[in-house]
Amino acid sequence: MALRETVDIDLELVARLIEREEAVLEPKHRASLEYRAVAERTVAGGVASSWQDAPPHAVFIDRGQGNRIWDIDGNEYIDFHLGYGAMVAGHAHPKIVEAIQRQASRGTHFAQPTKDIDVVGENLADRFGLPLWRFCNSGTEATLEAARLMRAVSGRDMLIKIEGSYHGHHDALMFSVVPDPDLIGERDHPVTVPQVMGIPDAFAELVRVVPFNDLQAVERALDELDGRVAGMIVEPAMMNCGVIMPEPGYLQGLRDLLHVRGAFLAYDEVKTGAALAYGGAVEAFGVTPDIVCLAKAIGGGLPCGAIGATRELFDPVVKGEYDMAGTFNGNPLTMAASRACLTEVLTKDSYDRLNRIHRALAEGCGAAIERTRLPAYVTGMGAKGSVIYSATPVREYRDSIAIDERITYLAWLFQQNRGVFKSPWSKQETWTTSVFHTEDDARRYVENFEEFAAAITR
Ligand SMILES: Cc1ncc(COP(=O)(O)O)c(C=O)c1O
C-alpha cells in the first residue's frame, strides 16, 4: 500500500544528474585517484578491502577528528559514514586516545588476559542482559563463533538466516546477502545463494533462508527441518538494505518458536549494538536472545568483536570442552579502547543526544520528502538512520529489490560534493552519527538532501 501520493522518478534525469555530479567530484579527488594507481602496484585492486572500492572510486582518507574527516586531497567532510558505523564515539575522542596511548606505552600484545576484560564484560552484560562474554577481532569472528556454538550445544547442523542480511565474511553464513533477484526463487522457499565464489555447495545445504518480519516462514522452516535446526541468526533491525525495523512481536515470536523446538536465537548486533540504544536492539525492542554478536561501535575505532551468551551456551567453553580462541582475542589495546569507549563515551545519556540528532535528520529529510512528493521515507533510531526510496514500506529484502540503485548513488554523490561523507554502496542510504555530531551537521545533511530531492523531482 502506498504511503501517500508520490511522483515518478525520471531515471533519465537521474542518469544526467549522476554524470554532472561525477564530473564535479572527479577533480576534487585527484590525489586519491593518483594514489590508488600507486597502491595498485602491490595491493590487490589498490584497496585493503573490496568494499573500500565503491563507485565512483576509492577515496583515501588522511585523518579524522570528532565529527569530521579529511581526504588526502584536503577535502573536509562531516562524517556520516563513520567507518561503516564503527565510530559512534567519533574520531580521536580524547578519552579513547588517552586510553590507547597509555596502553601502547605499556605494551600492545601479550596473548595473556589483562585487567580491562572484566570491566568490558560487565558493561556488555549490563547493556545486553547476557551473563557471559568472550572477545574477538571482528564481527565476522563473532558470528562465526555464534554459528558454531549453536551447533555445538544443540548437536544439530542446520542454521536459519534472513534473506538480505550480511553476517560477515565466513562460509557458514555468506548466503543470500544481496542475492541476484533472478536466483532467489519463490518467497515461500528462497534459494540459499552464495555471496561469493568458492563456497562449497555443502555449506549452502546447511543454511535455510527466510524473509525478515515473517514468523510463519520461520515456523514452516522449523516444521520442514524437523529437529535439525541448531538456531537462527538475525539482525534484529536489518541494516544492510537501508534500516528495516522489526515489526511488533516479531523478535519475541522468533524466540518463542525457536525455543519450543530446542533451537537458539542469535542476534547479530554488529551494526545495531551500542548504536540504536545503550543496550542496542535488546534494549530497543525488549527481547533478549540467547546470543548477541558485537563489533564496530564497541571498540572505539580499534578492531574488535564480542560474543555474549547464556551460561548454558558458554558451558562447554567454560569447561574447556570447546576452544573459542584467537591470538589477538582480548588484545590489550582493543580492551583499553573498548573500556574507555563503553564506560566514558557511549554512556547512557549520550543516546539522548544521538536521538536528538536523529530527530533533526528524520524531520528535515521527511519534510523534504513530503514537499517534493519523493517516493521515500525515513527510518531508524539512535545513531542509525536511513532514507528508503520506496513509496511502500520495505519490510524485507524482496521489497527493496525494486529500488533503483542509481537513485541512492546520486544521493551519495550530492552529499559527497557538498561536504558530507556517507557510507558508500547502493541501496544503503544509511547514516551513522557520533557523539560529536551537532544539529548544525544534521542541518547540512538535510540541506543537501533537499537539493537532491528537488533536483530529481523537478
Ligand atoms: C550486520 C553485520 N554483521 C557482521 C559484519 C561483519 O563485521 P566485520 O566487518 O567486522 O567482520 C558486518 C559488517 O559490516 C555487519 O554489518
DSSP run (H or E) holding 260: helix 250-260
The answer to whether 154 and 166 are in contact (CB under 8 A) is no
**Is 84 tagged catalytic?**
no
Give yes or no for residue 363 having a pLDDT over 90: yes
Give Cα 184 to chain centroid, integer Å.
23
pLDDT band at 218 (very low <50, low <70, confident <90, very high): very high
d(CA 63, CA 203): 41
Give yes or no for residue 437 having a pLDDT over 90: yes
Q: What's the half-sphere exposure (Cβ side, CA atoms, 13 Å) at 186?
A: 3
Question: Helices in 279-349 by DSSP H: which ranges?
Answer: 280-285, 311-318, 332-340
Please name the residue whose Cα sits nearest to atom 4 of ligand 1.
167
Please name the residue whose Cα sits nearest to atom 2 of ligand 1.
167
Secondary structure of the chain: what % helix, strand, coil (to 5)?
40, 15, 45
Q: Which of 166, 278, 351, 389 is flagged as catalytic? A: 166
Instruction: Please report the DSSP string for 429-441 in residue order.
Output: -EEE--TT--HHH
What distance in angstroms lies between residue 334's CA and the mean position of ligand 1's atoms? Answer: 17
pLDDT tens by residue, 307-334 = 999 999 999 999 999 999 999 999 999 9
**Is 166 tagged catalytic?**
yes
pLDDT band at 429 (very low <50, low <70, confident <90, very high): low
* Neighbour tally for 88: CB within 10 Å: 30
pLDDT at 384: 97
d(CA 168, CA 186): 25
| Burial class of 280 by CB neighbour count within 10 A (0 to 12, 13 to 18, 19+) | buried
What distance in angstroms lies between residue 329's CA and the mean position of ligand 1's atoms? Answer: 17
* Neighbour tally for 345: CB within 10 Å: 21
Ligand 1 pocket residues where CB is under 6 Å: 84, 138-140, 143, 166-168, 235, 239-240, 268, 270-271, 295
pLDDT at 288: 98
What distance in angstroms lies between residue 178's CA and the mean position of ligand 1's atoms? Answer: 14
| Mean pLDDT estimate for the chain | 97
Calculate mean pLDDT across residues 101-122. 97
pLDDT tens by residue, 81-91 = 999 999 999 99
Which one of 52, 195, 270, 384 would you pick to mutate in the ligand 1 pocket, going by the greatest count of ligand atoms within 8 A of its CB?
270
Residue 244 DSSP label = B
Please name the residue whose Cα sits nearest to atom 7 of ligand 1.
139
pLDDT at 2: 59
Please name the residue whose Cα sits nearest to atom 8 of ligand 1.
139
pTM of the model: 0.97
pLDDT at 425: 72
Give yes or no for residue 240 having a pLDDT over 90: no
Q: Name the amino acid, one letter, at 399.
A: D
Which one of 136, 163, 166, 243 would you pick to mutate in the ligand 1 pocket, going by the greatest count of ligand atoms within 8 A of its CB?
166
Give yes or no for residue 277 having a pLDDT over 70: yes
What distance in angstroms lies between residue 117's CA and the mean position of ligand 1's atoms? Answer: 22
All three cell numbers of 457, joined, read 523531482
Q: 3-class DSSP state for residue 248?
A: coil
Pairing of strands 264-268, 229-234: parallel
Q: What is the b/e burial string over 66-79, where b = at least 16 CB atoms within 10 angstroms of the residue's CB?
A: bbbbebbbebebbb
Calculate mean pLDDT across residues 94-112. 98
Integer Rg of the chain from CA:
22
* Neighbour tally for 57: CB within 10 Å: 16
Q: Which of 161, 250, 278, 296 is flagged as catalytic? A: 296
* Chain position carrying cell 511488533: 248
Which residues are bridge partners to 291 per DSSP? Answer: 266, 309
Q: Name the amino acid, one letter, at 299.
A: G
Please name the residue whose Cα sits nearest to atom 3 of ligand 1.
167
**Is 296 tagged catalytic?**
yes
Give yes or no for residue 3 having a pLDDT over 80: no
d(CA 191, CA 208): 8
Q: Which of 268, 290, 399, 441 is flagged as catalytic? A: 268
Instruction: Please report the DSSP string for 159-228 in residue order.
Output: EEEETT----SSTTT-BSSS--TTTS--TTS----BSSTT--HHHHTTEEEE-TT-HHHHHHHHHHTTT-
Ligand 1 nearest atom to the CA of residue 235, by list position: 1
What distance in angstroms lies between residue 374's CA and the mean position of ligand 1's atoms? Answer: 31
pLDDT band at 424 (very low <50, low <70, confident <90, very high): confident
Give yes or no for residue 449 having a pLDDT over 60: yes
pLDDT tens by residue, 385-420 = 999 999 999 999 999 999 999 999 999 999 999 999
Give yes or no for residue 426 having a pLDDT over 90: no
Ligand 1 nearest atom to the CA of residue 272, by list position: 1
d(CA 249, CA 158): 24
* Chain position carrying cell 529489490: 401
pLDDT band at 238 (very low <50, low <70, confident <90, very high): very high
Which one of 162, 175, 271, 276 would you pick to mutate in the ligand 1 pocket, going by the greatest count of ligand atoms within 8 A of its CB?
271
- For 350-435, list the strands marked E by DSSP: 377-381, 384-388, 420-421, 430-432
pLDDT at 458: 86
Ligand 1 nearest atom to the CA of residue 139, by list position: 7
Give yes or no for residue 1 having a pLDDT over 60: no
pLDDT tens by residue, 158-196 = 999 999 999 999 999 999 999 999 999 999 999 999 999
pLDDT band at 4 (very low <50, low <70, confident <90, very high): confident
